[in-house]
Amino acid sequence: DPLAFEKYCRERVSITTEVDAPYSFLANTFVLISSTKSRIRIVTLLTNCLLFLLHIEKDSLLSAVWLSTNDIAPSFYGKNLGVGPAMYSKALKEVCGISSQSLKNLWNRHGDPGDVAYEAKVSVRTLFQPQPLTIKKVFSTLLKIADCIGNGAQNRKLELTKYLLISAKAEEVRYIGRSIMQNLRIGAVQNTMLTALSKAFIIYSDYERLANLGSASLQEEFQKAEEALKQSFYQVPDYNILVKTLLTTGLNDLTQRMSIRPGTPVKPMLGSITKNLQEMLHKLKGHNFCCEFKYDGQRAQVHKSKTGEVKIFSRHLEEISERYPDVIESCQIAQKTNADYIIEGELVAIDSKSGQILDFQTLSTRERKKVNLNEITVHVCFFIFDMMYFKGESLLQCPLSVRRRNIIESFNIIPNQFQLAASLESKEEAAIQEFFNLAINSKCEGLMVKVLDGINSKLPSTYEPDKRGEGWIKVKQDYSEEFESLDLVPIGAWYGSGRKAGWFSPILLAVFNPENATYEAVCKCMSGFSDQFYKEITDRYSLDSGNSSPCVLTCPHAMRGLIEILASADEVWEVKGAQITSSPVYKAGIGLADEDRGLSIRFPRFIKIRSDKGPEDASTNTMLAEMYMKQNQ
């Protein structure tokens, strides 16, 4: 119980040394967390770990948060550890003095980078005792690894990796190994960490008052703190800022202090699903709403700061400014004044002469890395649909009608470069149907229907970061068919036979489980791919590419021969199927629809790569179970 633990800390923990918190403390917390699947227990263990650090050494808190969340920085910092399986294996061989064959055997037996390191190091006798690792030292070394660039970077990365492996003792080795390979597997995903942080800080700062509350009021206080902390984080999703703010001013006025700001991408608002136009009209009866084209491109936030710098961020918050210098230029020309802003829209490939929208496939052939203005081959138009910040003020709480007015007042249209998302304000079914048809004929996916203002409205018209709000409803053509598509993550593959010998086929696909940040296998897919695509994914994930784990998973008979590509898989594939079925083999959604059976997809067919999504944006186990239950109704 975190409250009892806080009491213990207040009475018994005295700060007698100036020593940094040891890494072994965090590693032992990870051991405890690994021994449970209960989210409540994981939150409690993390809360107590944070409370303890608040008492003994606050400076380690931020490093502990990053290490527990299996990351080193927000995605928009563009930091990458860049230690692949090949370098990791080399470091292990040199540190533990084992042969390639012994290491291969360990990979085959354990398949997990931490377990392999633990087993490899167990028998190593060291003549001298290395300095014990501290939480801060581990984290700062990981940052150094990420910061190695240029000449000799690979060697320096290798040396730093070896330093961590040499210095780690006992269970530390396992978690250091997993952190280096960014595969921690302890389930402290974002929501778990945010809950634990909110609990730790409210208990630490307000213990006396909380200790006298009854359990219902206490839960209410915890919930309020959690809500405020999550609200703040979704606006400024950066633990560096969050933890520093918490350490200086606690939970007081956190939402104001952590309010949206240019330069830090906000978690995007998401749309909820409807079957068809009739269902949408039923849901929005009595509300003011507008319909917009649902473009099939890449979602982007454009941020302009007071200094005039313009940056673009993707849907999963990576900075993509270097890929779109043309869009930055268009935004600058289109703006009427010089104010700072955050706007959002869809980047869509377009024929710059005819103005015709091109399909998503064309956009995906656009240069993926830095590009110069005169080298652009695929032209892009930014279709703006929202504004979240203007002239130093957050607009998140303003109704959409006001945000839209602001857009129109602040920007000029530049045909085929910077346009407003096509929209219609009408409640007439016939007019909306016609607009829907126009959207489909214009290579769009359908419509996004949005509540405009809040007067007499139960549905929100404000911008709700990270929420699948009822105030945004998507109507897609696909939904009128039986099966909604799913966004799945490729996690493994087998080598094919016959015509496909030498290529990966089939591919094992998974849904994401956000509770413990794992990927749950849902089906094998071998349809919808072109030969070219087979060749490309085989090259991308072959064992020689260094992107795959050289291991065969310890898995049920049906999975024999699987090559695990999870170590580096960061793709999301849109897949359609015929039906969701209950399965004794696949683990996706296990325990949700059925106590001990998972779910699978019949006749899965690959549609396209969703390059706008990261694996954590993939369809979840819960979404799959909901679809299954809806289908069976």
What positions carry a catalytic annotation? 294
CB 324, min distance to ligand ATP, A: 15
Instruction: State the sign of the Cα–Cα–Cα–Cα dihedral 169, 174, 177, 183.
Output: negative
What is the rounded CA–CA span in Å between residue 31 and residue 38?
14
Taking alpha carbons only, the member of 378, 374, 373, 364 closest to residue 416 is 378
What is the rounded CA–CA span in Å between residue 155 and residue 161?
10
Nearer to ligand ATP, 39 or 299 (CB): 299
Using CB under 6 A, pick the residue from 90, 323, 474, 524 that binds ligand ATP: 474
Interaction residues for ligand ATP, span 328-347 (CB under 6 A): 346
Using CB under 6 A, pick the residue from 139, 222, 385, 494 that binds ligand ATP: 385
Total number of residues that touch ligand ATP (CB under 6 A): 14
For residue 209 the two structure tokens come to: 């008052």
Q: With binding defined as CB under 6 A, does residue 90 bind ligand ATP?
A: no
Neighbours of 146 (CB within 10 A): 19
CB 66, min distance to ligand ATP, A: 27
Q: With binding defined as CB under 6 A, does residue 271 bind ligand ATP?
A: yes
CB 525, min distance to ligand ATP, A: 18
Nearer to ligand ATP, 39 or 608 (CB): 608
Nearer to ligand ATP, 255 or 276 (CB): 276
With contacts defined by CB under 6 A, name the span among 212-220, 282-290, 291-299, 459-467 that binds ligand ATP: 291-299
Q: With binding defined as CB under 6 A, does residue 289 bind ligand ATP?
A: no
What is the rounded CA–CA span in Å between residue 27 and residue 47?
15
Strand partners, 519: 512
CB 349, min distance to ligand ATP, A: 13
Task: Write the DSSP string, 541-582.
Answer: HSGGGT-S-S-B----GGGTTPEE-TTT----EEEE-SEEEE
Which residue's beta carbon is nearest to the bound ligand ATP?
Answer: 299
Interaction residues for ligand ATP, span 438-467 (CB under 6 A): 448
b or e along 268-293 (b: 16 or more beta carbons within 10 Å of the residue's beta carbon)? Answer: bbebeebeebeebbebbeebbbbbbb
CA angle 313, 305, 244 (to 5 degrees): 80
Nearer to ligand ATP, 65 or 357 (CB): 357
CB 468, min distance to ligand ATP, A: 7
Nearer to ligand ATP, 27 or 317 (CB): 317
Q: With binding defined as CB under 6 A, does residue 294 bind ligand ATP?
A: yes
Nearer to ligand ATP, 171 or 616 (CB): 616
With contacts defined by CB under 6 A, name the span among 204-212, 222-230, 293-301, 411-419 that binds ligand ATP: 293-301
CA angle 371, 377, 379 (to 5 degrees): 95
Nearer to ligand ATP, 287 or 315 (CB): 315
DSSP tally for the chain: helices H, then strands E: 21, 19
Q: With binding defined as CB under 6 A, does residue 315 bind ligand ATP?
A: yes
Taking alpha carbons only, the member of 593, 601, 594, 597 closest to residue 584 is 597
CB 587, min distance to ligand ATP, A: 23
Q: With binding defined as CB under 6 A, does residue 236 bind ligand ATP?
A: no
With contacts defined by CB under 6 A, name the span among 178-186, 292-300, 361-369, 527-535 that binds ligand ATP: 292-300
With contacts defined by CB under 6 A, name the span among 26-34, 222-230, 294-302, 583-591 that binds ligand ATP: 294-302
Rounded (10°) angle between helices 2-12 and 39-56: 20
Residues 198, 223 contacting (CB under 8 angstroms): no
What is the rounded CA–CA span in Å between residue 393 and residue 235?
13
With contacts defined by CB under 6 A, name the span among 153-161, 167-175, 288-296, 554-562 that binds ligand ATP: 288-296
CB 292, min distance to ligand ATP, A: 4
CB 330, min distance to ligand ATP, A: 17
Nearer to ligand ATP, 292 or 520 (CB): 292
Neighbours of 173 (CB within 10 A): 28
CB 527, min distance to ligand ATP, A: 20
What is the rounded CA–CA span in Å between residue 312 and residue 323?
9
The 112-131 site mask, x for binding ligand ATP (CB under 6 A), equals --------------------
With contacts defined by CB under 6 A, name the span among 290-298, 503-511, 551-559, 621-629 that binds ligand ATP: 290-298
Using CB under 6 A, pick the residue from 295, 360, 534, 586 that binds ligand ATP: 295
Nearer to ligand ATP, 157 or 474 (CB): 474
What is the rounded CA–CA span in Å between residue 385 and residue 418?
11
8-state DSSP, 299: E
Nearer to ligand ATP, 239 or 295 (CB): 295
User: Is-cis flag, bond preceding 615, omega within 30?
Assistant: no
Residues 26, 178 contacting (CB under 8 angstroms): no
What is the rounded CA–CA span in Å between residue 548 and residue 479?
35
Taking alpha carbons only, the member of 285, 313, 288 closest to residue 299 is 313
Interaction residues for ligand ATP, span 387-426 (CB under 6 A): 421
CB 473, min distance to ligand ATP, A: 10
Rg (CA), the chain: 26
Interface with ligand ATP by CB under 6 A: which residues?
A: 270-271, 292-295, 299, 315, 346, 385, 421, 448, 474, 476
